[in-house]
Amino acid sequence: MKRPVTEQLLRLAPLFADLPPALLGNVAGNARPIFRAKGARIFEEGSVADCCYLLTDGRVKVVLADTADGQITLNVLDPLCLIGEVSLLDNLPRSAGLIAMEDSQLVQIGRTSFLELRNNRSFEDKLVVHVAATLRRATEQLRAIYTFDSMERVAWCVARLACPTNGLDAREIVMCPKPTHHDLAEMTGCTRETVSRALLRLRRLGWVRWDTTSLTLDVKSFRRYLQPIPH
């Protein structure tokens, strides 16, 4: 990937959109584009952090290992998200792992470039909002897991995955590809069998319908859960 393309990709992300050309050029010149195939681990929980990443294509999930040799999905991220910056802020090991859910392209930004970016007030202000939004999403997930019943958890999770890329004005939201029962189970703390039962109940209620490739949500039914998620 040539440097001008990297600059263009960085400029698409809200965090980088208003950077001075010289600063953006310095960051782009030292950044490294990388590709990770579906299922690949991009970094491990507990590993030493020397960079952060901007996701430019594909989807990735943030995961925690659990005590049963499984994992808990904390978040599913779409393109133009900054990832892995927290460990650069507190100089501690990675608090979670990152896995490509599909073939993904990322831009790797080293520690030195990240510290240079933080000297820019606009970037620093946006970074604070970004980290606060991440904390709020984590709090909302804990609330759902510990206060909702299984059907509500699955409804919340489906809405959570639909919100980042869809508005709330239409009557329906179509998710394609549809989330797998495995992914929903990892995000809600339910078994896949529980997820299956919850989805069947939601379908009987008319909240969702699906085919082999997509899942369609009725916006009116999901209104309680379909709150815009800040980036």
Q: Enter the pTM of the model.
A: 0.84
Statement to judge: residues 104 and 191 lie in one domain: no
Statement to judge: residues 104 and 52 lie in one domain: yes
Q: How many CA atoms lie within 13 A of 29 on its CB side?
A: 7
Statement to judge: residues 17 and 113 lie in one domain: yes
Q: Which domain holds residue 192?
A: 148-218
Dig out the tokens for 218 from the structure.
């009725």
How distant, in Å, are the alpha carbons of 47, 129, 175 from that of 91? 11, 20, 37
126 within a domain of the structure (yes/no): no
Report the CATH number that the domain containing residue 205 is assigned in CATH.
1.10.10.10
Statement to judge: residues 109 and 69 lie in one domain: yes
Residue 168 CB contacts under 8 Å (≥ 6 apart), including other chains? 219, 223, 226, 228
Report the CATH number that the domain containing residue 34 is assigned in CATH.
2.60.120.10
Specify the 3-state DSSP secondary structure of 147. Answer: helix
Local confidence pLDDT in tens for the 231 residues of the chain: 555 668 888 999 999 999 999 999 999 999 999 999 999 999 999 999 999 999 999 999 999 987 666 788 998 999 999 999 999 999 999 999 999 999 999 999 999 999 999 999 999 999 999 999 999 988 988 888 899 999 999 999 999 888 644 455 678 999 988 999 998 999 998 999 999 999 999 999 999 999 999 999 999 999 888 765 544
